[in-house]
Amino acid sequence: MELCTTTIDKHGRVVIPAEHRRALGLQAGDVVVLTLGDKELQLISQHEAFRRVQEMVRKHVGDNRSLVDELIAERHAEAARE
């Protein structure tokens, strides 16, 4: 783990050092996700947050099942009943 220091300005903004932004693949305007834990703030890219959620869902659903396809099929069946 690489440590560095930065400063919070009067508007609450924090500058993320360039080498950290590069390591995370972050660019100006990117959305990040902040998690507040036990007196600790974690920052991850939105892309990484989505990847982690997909991984969690995959553990419960499996690789060979498409929830999107199931939802579309349910919507088509519902529309046919109307």
Q: Indicate if the pLDDT at residue 40 is higher than 90.
A: yes
Q: Indicate if the pLDDT at residue 75 is higher than 90.
A: yes
Q: How many helices (H) and strands (E) does the chain have?
A: 3, 2
Answer whether 0.75 is exceeded by the pTM. Answer: no
Show Cβ contacts of residue 52 under 8 Å, excluding neighbours closer than 6 positions.
Answer: 44
Q: What does the pLDDT read at residue 64? A: 84
